[in-house]
Amino acid sequence: MKAHLSRRYLFSASHRLHSEAMSSEENQLTYGKCNNPYGHGHNYVIEVTVSGTVDEKTGMVCNLTDLDGFIEREVLARYDHENLNTMQEFAKDVPTTENLCIEIYEIVNRGFRHAHLERVKLEETMMNSFEYAGSGV
C-alpha cells in the first residue's frame, strides 16, 4: 500500500525582495514594503510530503528520524536565523518564498533517499503559502 507522509518544520529568517534587473521605482512598485533596504523577517513553515510503499516490517513509509535528521542537517541548519539575501543561492535570484520553496525542494530531492519526494510547501505567514512539486508538475 502506498501512503503519503507529511511533516512540518519551522525556521526563521530575514530577506529583502529586490531585483537588480529593475530600477528603484520598479522595485518599489513591485515589492512594496518587502523592498525595505534593511530587510524584514518571517517564521517560515516547511511542509515536506514524501511517499512510498508502507514497509510491512515497520509500518512506515520511511523512518521519521531519517526525515527529521535530513531536514535538520540540510535545510534548517542552513536557513534558520539567516539573512537569505547573503546566501549563495540568492546571489542572483530574489529570495521570494517561491524561489526558497524551489531551493528546498531541490535540496531534499537531491539528497533524501529514504522515500520519494512528492512536494514541498512553504508557508511565509499564516496567510501565504507556496508549493513546488518539481518542474513540469
Q: Is 81 a catalytic residue?
A: yes
Give the Cα separation of 30 and 26 in Å (integer). Answer: 6
According to the binding rule CB under 8 A, does residue 101 interact with another protein? no
By CB under 8 A, the residues from 25 to 54 that bind another protein are 49, 54
Gap between the Cα atoms of 74 and 108, Å rounded: 8
The nearer residue to another protein, 26 or 72, going by C-beta atoms, is 72
Beta carbon of residue 27, minimum distance to another protein (angstroms, whole number): 36
Considering only the stretches 4-12, 18-26, 76-84, 96-104, report the one whose residues sit in contact with another protein under the rule CB under 8 A: 4-12
> Does 4 interact with another protein (rule: CB under 8 A)?
yes
> Nine-digit cell at 132?
513546488
CA 56/CA 58 separation, integer angstroms: 6
62 flagged as catalytic? no
Please, are residues 71 and 114 in contact by the beta-carbon 8 Å criterion?
A: no
Residue 61, interface with another protein (CB under 8 A)?
Answer: yes
Residue 2 CB burial class (10 angstroms; 0-12, 13-18, ≥19): exposed
Exactly one of 34, 82, 106, 131 is catalytic; name it. 34
Judged by CB under 8 A, which of 23, 65, 88, 135 binds another protein?
65
**Residues 83, 92, 113, 117, CA torsion sign:** positive
Residues of this chain that bind another protein (CB under 8 A): 1-9, 49, 54, 57-61, 63-65
The residues carrying an active-site annotation are 34, 81, 124
